[in-house]
Amino acid sequence: MSPSDQTFGTFFLPGPTEVHLSVLQAMTRPMIAHRGKDFEALFARLQKGMQDVFRTTRPILISSSSATGLMEAAVRCAPPGPILAVVNGAFSERFAHIARSCERDTDVLDVPLGRAVDLDELRRRLVAKRYVAVTLVHSETSTGAQSDVHTATRLCRDAGALCLVDSVTGVCGTPLLFDEWDMDFALTGSQKALALPPGLALGVASAAYMKTAPAAKGRGLYFDLVEFESYAAKNQTPNTPALPLFYALDVQLARIAAETMERRWARHRAMAEQTWRWVDDVARRTGLPLRVLAPEGERSMTVSAVVLPAGVTGPAMAAAVRERGFVIGAGYDKLRETTFRVGHMGDHTPDRLALCLDACEEALVALAK
Amino acid sequence: MSPSDQTFGTFFLPGPTEVHLSVLQAMTRPMIAHRGKDFEALFARLQKGMQDVFRTTRPILISSSSATGLMEAAVRCAPPGPILAVVNGAFSERFAHIARSCERDTDVLDVPLGRAVDLDELRRRLVAKRYVAVTLVHSETSTGAQSDVHTATRLCRDAGALCLVDSVTGVCGTPLLFDEWDMDFALTGSQKALALPPGLALGVASAAYMKTAPAAKGRGLYFDLVEFESYAAKNQTPNTPALPLFYALDVQLARIAAETMERRWARHRAMAEQTWRWVDDVARRTGLPLRVLAPEGERSMTVSAVVLPAGVTGPAMAAAVRERGFVIGAGYDKLRETTFRVGHMGDHTPDRLALCLDACEEALVALAK
């Protein structure tokens, strides 16, 4: 184990997450031609590894962009017609914003911050108006709310709408069974539960969705899913790939395969429960009104947003924890002042998380004095 | 000097180019928050360094994507109206394709392969019809032709059209004086004369262009130049940045500043002339009809496409050179079989290029037997 790997486990932002030194070092491999056989072999390995992550036999879309790029792809390649955006936080709001910025007729289903997608309301909205697609977020990184994308997909399917799922902090940290759940589209980013540096977005589109995509006008080139799939068939990317991140993904997929996806999901669940338990314990021990923002049953396995006592702000909390050697996040956007966020995902372990939570408690007690 | 830096200088593809080990190693720096002060300081350094590269005081657009992304941005943010695409090779054809794929009314000005943009014909076309924008390529990586983008920009300006310049293998290898030449838009990719790994596109847009951009409909989010500029003003990127490549750019810009842009341009010119001289010498020494595809005065400083004798193909030539320890490119697209390409750009030096050209000569003689 390298010195850096020994100190791994101090950076608990809800993305980017800390990256193991062996994965970082993969990026120093020399350049190769991206239209040559070595690249094609690399691409084929990444397909195989990521298909296990997404639980699919469909081609994996690998975009040299942030996740926002594949969110835009999902919208641009959807058939003409109105889109319903379910908004329960900053990233689902971004999905709505992307749809509008692509000149799509966009309605919003608003859900209170901290809550999962309201499936009953979704059903009602899908009955009341015909939509071609619904956008929603699996795990809302801004609030720590996790939604039932399996049921949401079924509701959309029944109503004849595509269900476009941002699973940026879902995939690889909590089950998302693309084929078994009969999903239309799902995407993630490299810098979350996959524990890679930022720079890649990874997604899957169903065969049914891809049948409609070629008719979508004005798709452009960079986020054209038709291009992604046709190049993937020859183990290439349509555009010049961010090669170092492909190298890093290659090494990380071998590490993930060694752990197995089932154990990875279980580790994430254990760290999530550890965090919730810690919140309850601190509230009891200190008398401070600390609570997880999302109600039980609607909580993310990868990120927790915790409501702070009055008088302690998110940025102050993050700064005080940093002084104690750990990096966590302040609240995000509208929740910036009233919450803090811990990213318990990627390659983190319960042992290191416990140390981070100790630091959080110490910081909180000092700030609440 | 590290062991890997000692063997630097065997990879002469016209992109990606070889990357110095010290630059690769910068990518192993640990993750940081991209909305924090450390990132903002990094971003500010990159702005300053890249402004010297582009010779501009305008904000630098840093896109976590390949260059194709900023080509698409240039088109999407252009005012409504017809676009004229000057096509003299595969990458200028790609620019035309992007315009069409964004549902833009697109005319093409065809130029023979290997020739620079025909300025007289451009003037005629601009008089004959009113265009809102012209797309063209500074250095055509597929043919090794270099165009006079200074004059082209002036012609477009006189006709009231924006001149959108792909300088992917131009910038940093040959002068492009954005402010002095009063340019509208220029872009490059990280993996060419900048000698970084692929994964970033870097560009500049004029204040005049940016005044019109907010009115362009359907720009989307990821390639919205308005977003890029508003975030750059606070030293941030609109979307999650490909952090390791930002680290690499940081180290490389310090190396470029130490060399100075003037010396970098001169080194590229010296390597280009060395390659042309070598072609003439080989033709004379061997009697083989070898010639640079682009005529004198229209040649790229960063990539040379060389026409092969009948019976020797581009792929056979690249394979034979690889057996001798050097990587060059076969021809590209329509020129694949009839030419080979040498990328003499980035951090390469005349000494190492001489060894590569020796290997090329040996391969050629063996193949032509």
Q: CA B341: distance to chain centroid?
A: 15
Question: For A329-351, what is each residue's pLDDT tens digit?
Answer: 999 999 999 999 999 999 999 99
Chain B residues 172-191 within an 8 A CB cutoff of chain A? 189, 191
pLDDT of residue B7: 73
Over range B36-54, report the average pLDDT: 98
| DSSP code, position B11 | B
Contact residues, chain B, for A76 at CB < 8 Å: 220
Strands (E) in chain B, as ranges, are 61-63, 83-87, 106-110, 133-137, 139-140, 145-146, 162-166, 185-189, 201-205, 291-292, 303-307, 329-330, 339-343
3-state secondary structure string across A129-192: CCCCEEEEECEECCCCEECCHHHHHHHHHHCCCEEEEECCCCCCCCCCCCCCCCCCEEEEECCC
Bridge pairing between strands A145-146 and A139-140: antiparallel
Asked if residue A240 lies in contact with residue B68, where contact means CB atoms within 8 angstroms, the answer is yes
Bridge pairing between strands B201-205 and B185-189: antiparallel
Closest-CA residue of chain A to B32:
A16
pLDDT of residue A6: 62
Number of helices followed by number of strands (H, E) in chain B: 13, 13
The model's confidence at residue A4, banded by pLDDT at 50, 70 and 90, is: low
Predicted confidence (pLDDT) at residue B90 exceeds the cutoff of 50: yes
Predicted confidence (pLDDT) at residue A67 exceeds the cutoff of 50: yes
Q: How buried is A289 (Cβ within 10 angstroms: 0-12 exposed, 13-18 middle, 19+ buried)? A: exposed
**Does residue B65 sit at the A interface (CB-CB below 8 Å)?**
yes
Contact residues, chain A, for B329 at CB < 8 Å: 33
pLDDT of residue B6: 61
Whether residue B66 and residue A239 make contact (CB cut-off 8 A), yes or no, is yes
Over range B350-368, report the average pLDDT: 98
Who among A65, A217, A244 is closest to B222 (CB)?
A65
Question: For B139-191, what is each residue's pLDDT tens digit?
Answer: 999 999 999 999 999 999 999 999 999 999 999 999 999 999 999 999 999 99
Predicted confidence (pLDDT) at residue B3 exceeds the cutoff of 60: no
pLDDT of residue A1: 38
Chain A residues 257-316 within an 8 A CB cutoff of chain B? none
Whether residue B222 and residue A34 make contact (CB cut-off 8 A), yes or no, is no
pLDDT of residue A8: 93
Predicted confidence (pLDDT) at residue A322 exceeds the cutoff of 90: yes
Whether residue B244 and residue A33 make contact (CB cut-off 8 A), yes or no, is no
**Cβ atoms within 10 A of the Cβ of A127, count?**
11
Who among B28, B31, B329 is closest to A28 (CB)?
B28
Whether residue A101 and residue B219 make contact (CB cut-off 8 A), yes or no, is yes
Asked if residue A254 lies in contact with residue A266, where contact means CB atoms within 8 angstroms, the answer is no
Chain B residues 227-246 within an 8 A CB cutoff of chain A? 239-245
What percent of chain B stands above pLDDT 90? 98
The model's confidence at residue B272, banded by pLDDT at 50, 70 and 90, is: very high
Measure B247 CA to nearest chain A CA, in Å: 12
pLDDT of residue A5: 58
Question: For B230-259, what is each residue's pLDDT tens digit?
Answer: 999 999 999 999 999 999 999 999 999 999
Q: Is the dihedral of CA A183, B239, A294, A169 positive or negative?
A: positive
Question: For B94-114, what is each residue's pLDDT tens digit?
Answer: 999 999 999 999 999 999 999
Q: Which of A65, A69, A60, A61 is nearest to A199 (CA)?
A: A65
Whether residue B289 is preceded by a cis peptide bond, meaning omega within 30 degrees of 0, is: no
Whether residue A16 and residue B72 make contact (CB cut-off 8 A), yes or no, is no
Whether residue A65 and residue B65 make contact (CB cut-off 8 A), yes or no, is yes
Asked if residue A301 lies in contact with residue A269, where contact means CB atoms within 8 angstroms, the answer is yes
What does the alpha-carbon distance between residue B162 and residue B87 come to, in Å, rounded to a whole number? 17
SS3 call for B126: helix
Measure A120 CA to nearest chain B CA, in Å: 31
pLDDT of residue A369: 86
Whether residue A222 and residue B224 make contact (CB cut-off 8 A), yes or no, is no
SS3 call for B87: strand
Asked if residue B94 lies in contact with residue B71, where contact means CB atoms within 8 angstroms, the answer is yes
What does the alpha-carbon distance between residue B99 and residue B102 come to, in Å, rounded to a whole number? 5
| A interface test, pick of B64, B228, B231 with most A CB neighbours within 10 Å | B64
Contact residues, chain A, for B33 at CB < 8 Å: 13, 16, 327, 329
Q: Is the dihedral of CA B328, B333, B334, B337 positive or negative?
A: positive
Please name the residues in contact with A97: beta carbons below 8 A apart, sequence gap of 6 or more: B221
Here the tokens at position B330 are 């076969």
SS3 call for B146: strand
pLDDT of residue B252: 98
Chain A, chain B: beta-carbon pairs less than 8 Å apart = 186
**Does residue A223 sit at the B interface (CB-CB below 8 Å)?**
yes
Domains of chain B with CATH codes: 21-259 (3.40.640.10), 261-368 (3.90.1150.10)
Fill in the amino acid letter for B222.
Y
Question: For B310-355, what is each residue's pLDDT tens digit?
Answer: 999 999 999 999 999 999 999 999 999 999 999 999 999 999 999 9
pLDDT of residue A230: 97
Who among A30, A197, A223 is closest to B31 (CB)?
A197
Over range B81-97, report the average pLDDT: 98
Chain A residues 66-95 within an 8 A CB cutoff of chain B? 66-69, 72, 76, 94
Contact residues, chain B, for A22 at CB < 8 Å: none
Contact residues, chain A, for B27 at CB < 8 Å: 24, 27-28, 197, 244
Question: For A127-181, what is each residue's pLDDT tens digit?
Answer: 999 999 999 999 999 999 999 999 999 999 999 999 999 999 999 999 999 999 9
Contact residues, chain B, for A27 at CB < 8 Å: 24, 27-28, 197, 244
pLDDT of residue B369: 86
Q: Is the dihedral of CA A367, B37, B213, B98 positive or negative?
A: negative
| A interface test, pick of B95, B105, B240 with most A CB neighbours within 10 Å | B240
Whether residue B239 and residue A68 make contact (CB cut-off 8 A), yes or no, is yes
Contact residues, chain A, for B340 at CB < 8 Å: none
**Does residue A221 sit at the B interface (CB-CB below 8 Å)?**
yes
Predicted confidence (pLDDT) at residue A288 exceeds the cutoff of 80: yes
DSSP states along A301-351: SSEEEEEPPTT--HHHHHHHHHHTT-B-EE--GGGTTTEEEEE--TT--HH
Whether residue B197 and residue A31 make contact (CB cut-off 8 A), yes or no, is yes
| B interface test, pick of A2, A239, A321 with most B CB neighbours within 10 Å | A239
**Does residue B19 sit at the A interface (CB-CB below 8 Å)?**
yes
**Does residue A108 sit at the B interface (CB-CB below 8 Å)?**
no
Please name the residues in contact with A130: beta carbons below 8 A apart, sequence gap of 6 or more: A81, A82, A159, A160, A161
Whether residue A239 and residue B327 make contact (CB cut-off 8 A), yes or no, is no
Question: Which residue's entry shows tokens 């002469």?
Answer: B12
**Does residue A33 sit at the B interface (CB-CB below 8 Å)?**
yes
Whether residue B244 and residue A244 make contact (CB cut-off 8 A), yes or no, is yes
Contact residues, chain A, for B64 at CB < 8 Å: 64-66, 198-199, 242
Fill in the amino acid letter for A25.
Q
Q: Which of B195, B231, B228, B213 is nearest to B53 (CA)?
A: B195
**Does residue A64 sit at the B interface (CB-CB below 8 Å)?**
yes
Measure B103 CA to nearest chain A CA, in Å: 5
Measure B180 CA to nearest chain A CA, in Å: 31
Here the tokens at position B189 are 């990719």
**Does residue A15 sit at the B interface (CB-CB below 8 Å)?**
yes
3-state secondary structure string across A293-310: CCCCCCECCCEEEEECCC
pLDDT of residue B5: 58
Between the CA atoms of A6, A11, A16 and A18, what dihedral angle is there, to the nearest 10 degrees? 10
**Cβ atoms within 10 A of the Cβ of B300, count?**
30
Contact residues, chain A, for B69 at CB < 8 Å: 65, 222, 239
Bridge pairing between strands B106-110 and B83-87: parallel
| B interface test, pick of A10, A221, A225 with most B CB neighbours within 10 Å | A221
Q: How buried is A233 (Cβ within 10 angstroms: 0-12 exposed, 13-18 middle, 19+ buried)? A: exposed
Fill in the amino acid letter for B301.
M
Angle at Cα B209 formed by Cα B204 and Cα B214, nearest 5°? 110
What does the alpha-carbon distance between residue B280 and residue B290 come to, in Å, rounded to a whole number? 7
